[in-house]
Copies of this chain bind each other. A is one copy, B any other.
């Protein structure tokens, strides 16, 4: 170990130093980094001590949460790997304020559970909720399943506690719904992927627990018809609409075979939608079914039991697993204006078919918030070979996304994997402003170097 890192280690308790090399590789095993020192501080004060030392010596620091990111943002390229996993206390819950204060290292599911134990819902929900951490969710502005009703992580954060690169603490954890006192610096940390400071705690919004849940699978003739259905259900049922998932015929075929369950409907496109209500209401399912029928959406099934509901969701949730049989894929984290999803799917599909003969495209996603999973399979290409085609496929996909007013990074962030593409969605003036913000917060460039911003 180099001298400064040895000195830093000596300032800390022995159990704050880790030798867990697994932390250096990301979940997808796409990136393996290196670090001079792996730290797992016990508390915010210890984070401050580490940052003060690193700031003075100009040592790079990469903050890390549950290490479930998909863009390599938490994989260090030398220096200190600062894993926040031990800052894992739920500090407080206020039912009067519908707010919960959690430390950055709390696992998302533990936060959901703590809210439920107080009779409240914390709505952020995503595939890795059993291991991802709140600090990481904030640092990448996580999205997930419930954005349609509850927004992204940005919408769920009422307050932050942050350690600045020089060790200074900025703490605003009071649950305030209205507060306009200068530039909202908190918003910069949300989605900054550890490049501006270290998030150590957050005050999060809570909601009433659902008492009623109704789930429908509907076959529709086109994406345009799915968009009509969305507008209909949203206008009628308002915030009750919590999920509105689009599934293409091909995706359903794969998943149906994988689950050994018959498709609930025969149609080119499918919608899985769910309503929840904080009231106990026996009539909600009937009202929903009636609303669909009256408006011509008659190729649909209302789940009559929790078992039927789970079967419908299994068809949606197993698409990713089911498609693995197709070989290696190039996946996309994109979002579009809802009104333009149909146009994108048509045009981009045609362009990909023209460029890559035999390409298979599995289309599904959260139509309710405009984000799509758009997975492309090149026949006969093995796992390792797929990256050779990645740029060529992405050039086509992203060009169509941008032509339709969409974004190339909806909810996974930029990290290492899309750094070189940031200039496709942000102008030179904007990137210059981002770099100036970065310099203001992190004058020595020690926070998570090599991530998010292009060189």
Contact = CB atoms under 8 A, between A and B. Distances in A.
Interface of A: 94-99, 119-120, 140-141, 143, 147-148, 151-152, 154-155, 164, 168, 170, 174-185, 187-188, 190-192, 196, 207-209, 227, 230-231, 234-239, 277-279, 287, 335-339, 369-371, 405-414, 422, 425-427, 429-431, 433-434, 436-441, 452-453
17 contacts: A147-B177, A148-B177, A168-B429, A170-B430, A174-B406, A176-B407, A180-B191, A181-B408, A181-B422, A182-B422, A182-B426, A185-B437, A236-B278, A237-B279, A238-B239, A437-B437, A437-B440
Nearest to A407: B179
A232 to B, nearest CB: 10
Given A180-B410, A278-B238, A413-B180, A185 B433 contact: yes
A181 to B, nearest CB: 5
The copy count of this chain in the complex is 2
A151 B176 CA distance: 11
A184 B180 contact: no
Contacts of A188: 183-184, 187-188
A183 B406 contact: no
A235 B120 CA distance: 8
Contacts of A422: 181-182
Contacts of A119: 235
A426 B371 CA distance: 37
B183 A279 contact: no
Contacts of A441: 433, 436
A454 to B, nearest CB: 10
Contacts of A231: 95-96
B238 A208 contact: yes
Contacts of A406: 174, 176
Given A184-B188, A230-B96, A370 B337 contact: no
Contacts of A154: 184
A423 to B, nearest CB: 10
A100 B96 CA distance: 34
Given A96-B230, A440-B440, A414 B370 contact: no
Contacts of A413: 180
A429 to B, nearest CB: 5
B370 A177 contact: yes
A437 B148 CA distance: 32
A130 to B, nearest CB: 22
Contacts of A196: 183
B337 A176 contact: yes
Nearest to A369: B177
A230 B177 CA distance: 15
Given A174-B337, A184-B191, A453-B182, A370 B277 contact: no
A436 B182 CA distance: 13
Which has the most chain B C-beta neighbours within 10 Å: A96, A98, A155, A407? Answer: A96
Contacts of A426: 181-182
A437 B410 CA distance: 26
Contacts of A140: 180
Given A239-B239, A429-B164, A178 B371 contact: yes
Contacts of A180: 140-141, 143, 152, 191, 409-414
A4 to B, nearest CB: 24
A119 to B, nearest CB: 7
Closest 5 CB pairs of A and B: A187-B187, A436-B440, A238-B278, A174-B405, A177-B369
Contacts of A141: 180, 184
A407 B148 CA distance: 30
Contacts of A414: 180-182
A234 B98 contact: yes
A148 B410 CA distance: 27
